[in-house]
Structure 1
Amino acid sequence: MRHSFDFNNKTVLVTGGARGIGLELSRQLVSKGAHVIAIGRDAASLDALAMQFHGSVTIMQADLGTPGSARALSQWVRETRPECSVLINNAAIMHHTDLTVDSPARLAAISAEITVNLTAPLQLSVAMLPVLSAHPAPAIVNITSGLAIAPKREAAVYCASKAALRSFTRSLRDQCRASKLPIQVSEAVMTLVDTTLSRAGSFRKYPPVRAAADLIAGVERGLDEIWIEKTKLLRIVHRLSPELAYRIMRDR
């Protein structure tokens, strides 16, 4: 049974919370009465966000690509912001790489992408369980992508990491339910959004403000899976013809 979710008076940790979709999430969550803990690498973006929403946003500079960062972050939250009851794993990086071309940097790039996109959200989700479950209505939201359903050629590692995060989110949800933990575990399947994550091209990109609003609305409705914009159609196409979905997404 679905239950409505209210962000008012919640403390919400948003990774990548000062740029792109994360910035819009932070802004809109504050407007709904939440206090946001914004995590990011760029100090200037974090400072600007804190100045704009003085008193409603706590900032923490952290690089989730650094080994041990998820453990350190969860410990910091436990010690300084135990009222945190919502985790939104939004931070991600995408490398546009032809893996068939020999390059001394490609193995390190693979490791970095997996660490930020997969290892960090998995570890944060698990490490934050004791903090989140201490509250009556906690939530974990993992942002994946339509590319987890049908990958594109030039971002193989990103697509693989999002597919793995999608699988993990389902399993974690099942484990929480089996253990009677009252945690809403949602997946937001993101469309192509107008941020610096993806390359410029001829494809129309969804505005970050709308992507964030759709995600928040889906969490408020208690949805397990939140399909953003064109991913709703991709879901149907993939169900009817996986090969057609792959062809559509291959060169996106």
Structure 2
Amino acid sequence: MDLLKSTEITKAEEAMSLKLFDLTGKRALVTGSSQGIGLALAKGLAEAGATLVLNGRNRDKLEAAATEFSNPVELLDFDVTDHAAARAAVDEFEAKKGAIDILVNNAGMQHRSPLEDFPADAFERLLQTNIASVFHVGQAVARHMIGRGRGKIINIASVQTALARPSIAPYTATKGAVGNLTKGMATDWAKHGLQCNAIAPGYFDTPLNAALVADPAFSAWLEKRTPAGRWGQVEELVGACIFLSSDASSFVNGHILYVDGGITVSL
């Protein structure tokens, strides 16, 4: 009888623990979610019970991505680098469809060039896509979250939030800014019931890194440099995203969670 009671208690505790990560009834907007990390995170949040809103500039790509979900998803095609467009799209969605409970600021780009030859226009695009978009969409969504007294904002940072490599100095600058903007969001908005955190991926096999993945010399260097000894797979970011989107992270704020196979902690 005691063993039976113990088993029942264990099952009850397990159910309570799992409920902390349950996103049923929540709606999540993921920017830049037609491919790569954004799409993988969107799928993971959907599997945890969330209703998804996919974002990108290309409607055709979004519609193609939507076919990969077993449940219906919403599509919100606007340019995250356009402050007015982001505000209008979010306000209209909230008025017509309902609350956005979770925001994942994932949209980003890369450009590689020696710093002394780095094109000024590419630098400006990096600033707008990687950092200004986090401000534009973050502010637009947070205005509604603040009124409700709750909300989750997850910004996608990078190992370049803490580290640098040749030929990507402006990208490094933008990801450092994402880390600090995340801290600023938490400082301003935690008092309103929001949790604002960041995920900093290491080197993952994504379309953004296709050229590096295809380079045997770089892959060999990365495998030696990373304690885990390999490239990351995008699905390995999902657990961190679910944690930061769920009640399990209710007292986590302004944190940058590195998911990088150990590269930032090892020389």
Range class of TM-score, shorter chain: 0.7 to 0.9
Instruction: Find 2:158's aligned residue among 145, 169, 172.
Output: 145
**What is the match of residue 192 of structure 1?**
203
Residue 65 of structure 2 aligns to a residue whose secondary structure is helix
* Contact 1:143–1:188 under 8 Å retained in 2: yes
Alignment RMSD: 2.3
TM-score (norm 1): 0.81
Is the counterpart of residue 29 in structure 1 residue 45 in structure 2?
Answer: yes
* Contact 2:22–2:49 under 8 Å retained in 1: no
Is the counterpart of residue 116 in structure 1 residue 129 in structure 2?
Answer: yes
Instruction: Find 2:259's aligned residue among 228, 237, 241.
Output: 228
* Contact 1:30–1:56 under 8 Å retained in 2: no
Is the counterpart of residue 19 in structure 1 residue 50 in structure 2?
Answer: no
The aligned runs of 1:241-252 (5 Å cut-off) are none
AA partner of residue 194 (structure 1): D
Residue 206 of structure 1 aligns to a residue whose secondary structure is coil
The aligned runs of 1:104-183 (5 Å cut-off) are 106-135=119-148, 137-177=150-190, 180-183=191-194
Q: Deviations over 1:169-201 (max 9, x none)?
A: 111101123xx2111111111111111212323
Is the radius of gyration larger for structure 1 or structure 2? 2
Partner Cα distance (1:48, 1:194) in 2? 21
* Contact 1:146–1:189 under 8 Å retained in 2: yes
CA separation of 1:233 and 1:110: change in aligned 2, threshold 3 A: closer
Q: Which stretch has the larger CA shift, 196-205 or 82-91?
A: 196-205
The aligned runs of 1:205-224 (5 Å cut-off) are 205-220=231-246, 221-222=248-249, 223=252, 224=255
* Contact 1:64–1:120 under 8 Å retained in 2: yes
Residue 100 of structure 1 aligns to a residue whose secondary structure is helix
TM-score (norm 2): 0.77
Residue 101 of structure 2 aligns to a residue whose secondary structure is strand
**What is the match of residue 24 of structure 2?**
8
Structure 1 runs, 4 residues or longer, greater than 4 Å off: none
Q: Which stretch has the larger CA shift, 126-135 or 12-21?
A: 126-135
Unpaired stretches in structure 1, ≥5 consecutive residues? 238-243, 245-252
Unpaired stretches in structure 2, ≥5 consecutive residues? 1-19, 223-229
Aligned residues: 229
Partner Cα distance (2:81, 2:143) in 1? 23
Structure with the higher fraction of residues in helix conformation: 2
* Contact 2:54–2:75 under 8 Å retained in 1: yes
